[in-house]
């Protein structure tokens, strides 16, 4: 992933743990220009062995899984910014007085108003990011959302964001995914919710979308149907080539134990 955050984005995903990265895979695969803003602090990094994530019958190193999810988002076309979001603001009308304000965040709000973006994401390391959609997936961190009217924050000892059954907050274009949306504290559930929220976003967007499916050649067309938007038909040669590439990559990614050390609760660290 690159860290070029100067252009307006279709989607800014705030939080690149399992929920946020899964969301980014889906939005990027549909051609939405997606940026994941994340400082690399998924709580899953503390897991010692992930044994209940679908598809890994003998378990998987959780830090490896996060790397793979990041790689998958990148392959799909998402960029990554190694940063912490400090504030998400909404954009006013095109004649927003911010246009005359020399502050970078204010001028980003003004630019966003001009290019159709609805949000400005401020971070601790880079210029503000303009985006049409924001997916918040920061587990229990909500401080950066304080500047937006209409986001319901629920305090149950830890903080969560109030969403509807598809992950929409009270603000058009702003979604919450994973643990932040009060999903059960399980990696597979949060990953699945990230995917669901992204599909919701795609359905809410103007872009044509049916399903994100890769189907065998003729699956639709031999029945007289157009390949629906979001779907792809591939022939046998393409299928074999993709499998061969994937087998090589999988052997490489799993050839050695993951180099990162085990992490634990901060209160147990020196």
Q: For residues 11 and 113, which CB has a smaller minimum distance to ligand FAD in the complex?
A: 11
Phi, then psi, of 104 in degrees rounded to 5: -60, -40
Comparison of 102 and 261: residue with beta carbon closer to ligand FAD: 261
The token duo for 214 is 């890769």
Local structure of 250: helix, strand or coil: helix
CA distances from 156 to 159, 161, 194, 247 (A): 6, 11, 22, 45
Residue 241 CB coordination number (10 Å): 12
User: Closest approach of Cβ 219 to ligand FAD, in Å?
Assistant: 33
Q: State the minimum distance, in angstroms, from the CB of residue 211 to ligand FAD.
A: 23
Residues near ligand FAD, by CB under 6 A? 14-20, 37-44, 46-47, 50, 52, 84-85, 137-139, 141, 144, 178-180, 185-188, 190
Smallest separation (angstroms) from ligand FAD to the CB of 25: 13
As measured in angstroms, the least distance from the Cβ of 178 to ligand FAD is 3
Grouping H, G, I as helix, E, B as strand and the rest as coil, residue 181 is helix
* For helices 18-29 and 187-204, angle between their N-to-C axes, nearest 10 degrees: 30
Residues 57 and 55: their CA atoms lie apart, in Å, by 6
Q: What is the DSSP letter of 31?
A: T
Closest residue to ligand FAD, judged by C-beta, is: 17
Question: Least Å distance between CB 122 and ligand FAD?
Answer: 10
Nearer of residues 188 and 215 to ligand FAD, judged by Cβ: 188
Residue (20 or 128) nearer to ligand FAD, CB: 20
Nearer to ligand FAD, 173 or 194 (CB): 194
């Amino acid at each position: 992933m690159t860290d070029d955050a100067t252009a307006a984005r279709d989607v800014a995903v705030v939080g690149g743990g399992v929920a946020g990265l899964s969301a980014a895979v889906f939005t990027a695969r549909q051609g939405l220009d997606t940026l994941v803003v994340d400082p690399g602090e998924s709580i899953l990094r503390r897991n010692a062995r992930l044994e209940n994530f679908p598809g890994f019958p003998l378990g998987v190193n959780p830090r490896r899984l996060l790397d793979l999810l990041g790689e998958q988002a990148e392959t799909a076309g998402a960029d990554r910014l190694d940063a912490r979001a400090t504030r998400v603001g909404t954009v006013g009308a095109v004649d927003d007085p911010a246009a005359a304000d020399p502050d970078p965040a204010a001028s980003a709000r003004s630019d966003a108003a001009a290019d159709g973006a609805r949000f400005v994401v401020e971070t601790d390391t880079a210029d503000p990011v303009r985006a049409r959609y924001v997916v918040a997936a920061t587990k229990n961190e909500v401080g950066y959302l304080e500047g937006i009217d209409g986001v319901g924050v629920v305090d149950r000892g830890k903080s969560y964001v109030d969403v509807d059954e598809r992950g929409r907050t009270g603000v058009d274009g702003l979604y919450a995914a994973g643990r932040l949306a009060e999903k059960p504290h399980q990696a597979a559930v949060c990953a699945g919710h990230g995917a669901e929220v992204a599909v919701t976003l795609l359905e809410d967007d103007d872009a044509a979308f049916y399903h994100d499916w890769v189907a065998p050649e003729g699956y639709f067309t031999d029945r007289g149907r157009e390949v629906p938007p979001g779907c792809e038909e591939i022939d046998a040669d393409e299928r074999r080539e993709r499998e061969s590439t994937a087998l090589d990559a999988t052997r490489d990614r799993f050839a050695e134990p993951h180099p990162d050390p085990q992490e634990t609760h901060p209160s147990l660290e020196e």
